[in-house]
Amino acid sequence: DADVTQTPRNRITKTGKRIMLECSQTKGHDRMYWYRQDPGLGLRLIYYSFDVKDINKGEISDGYSVSRQAQAKFSLSLESAIPNQTALYFCATSDPHGLSYGYTFGSGTRLTVV
Amino acid sequence: KQEVTQIPAALSVPEGENLVLNCSFTDSAIYNLQWFRQDPGKGLTSLLLIQSSQREQTSGRLNASLDKSSGRSTLYIAASQPGDSATYLCAGNSGAGSYQLTFGKGTKLSVIP
């Protein structure tokens, strides 16, 4: 099994719908992150969590919310999806002490909002 | 705000050539630096991690180095193969415990058989 698993892999949804992207990890790390990737813009941080009770906004959090259900699970929600949220979404995890082991990314969720 | 520039944006080389990808940071206080590979529409695969106390890492035909004084990193690929074709991303964070891993926009590499 992959260290970081994202579901679904692909999703097409309509404007205005609520959608949840899920992420689970088996690394045992406390830190988890959600990024989105857009052509020409690179990866940008949406939200990050240092532990179950610590959730923080990233660079582009507007229109998104997150939930850290357990150490291993971190979900991203789009409350009312809009077309410019069409992107490739990545979940990642890292160790807590100096990032000694770097970041581990999931395979991504390709979201299309029509 | 940390910004990362990767040069070139795209590169096409014949199979067998050695090549260098470049990455530079506006804030040279890089703590850890990581190089990733991304195949089209796929996730990020970690290639090399240079930790705070290191200056260089090697894995097979890949060698990454980090010059903290200038805030620049290079990824050297020896004897390139068509299977090396992908987008290569560098990313770094500033300071121990920093949450922010800042990414470059990548170099798209094509290795021609």
pLDDT at A102: 81
For chain B, percent helix, then strand, then coil, each to nearest 5?
A: 5, 55, 40
Q: Which two tokens stand for residue B65?
A: 């180095």
- Confidence at residue A97, expressed as pLDDT on a 0 to 100 scale: 57
Residues of A in contact with B92 (CB under 8 A): none
Chain B residues touching residue A105 (CB < 8 angstroms): 36, 43-46
Cross-chain CB nearest to A108 (options B43, B89, B103) = B43
Residue in A50, A90, A101 nearest the CB of B43:
A90
d(CA A14, CA B56): 47
Cβ(B106)–Cβ(B88) below 8 Å: yes
Q: What's the pLDDT score for residue A98? A: 46
- Confidence check: pLDDT of B98 > 70: no
Beta bridge partners of A66: A76
Q: Which pLDDT band, with edges at 50, 70 and 90, does B29 fall under?
A: confident
> Hey, are the CB atoms on B89 and A43 less than 8 Å from each other?
yes
Q: How near does any CA of chain B get to the CA of A45, in Å?
A: 8
- Residues in chain A closer than 8 A to B106 (CB atoms): 42
Mutant choice from A3, A61, A99 vs B, greatest count of B C-beta within 10 A? A99
Separation between Cα atoms, residue B56 and residue B11, nearest integer Å? 23
Most confident among B5-19, B39-53, B99-113 (mean pLDDT):
B5-19
DSSP state of A85: G
The pLDDT tens digits for A7-60 are 999 999 999 999 999 999 998 888 999 999 998 888 999 999 988 999 999 989
pLDDT value at residue A35:
96
Mean predicted confidence (pLDDT) in A105-110: 94
Across the range B24-43, mean pLDDT stands at 87
Q: How many other CB atoms are found less than 10 A from the CB of residue B42? A: 13
| B50 beta partners | B33
Residues of chain A contacting B105 with CB distance shorter than 8 Å: 40-42
| Token pair belonging to B39 | 């195949």
Residue in this structure with the two tokens 């830190």, named with its chain if needed: A31
Which site among B6, B25, B32, B108 would you substitute to test the A interface, given the most A Cβ atoms closer than 10 Å to its Cβ? B32
Q: Which residues of A touch B89 (CB under 8 A)?
A: 42-43
Q: What pLDDT is recorded for position B35?
A: 96
Q: What does chain A come to in residues?
A: 114
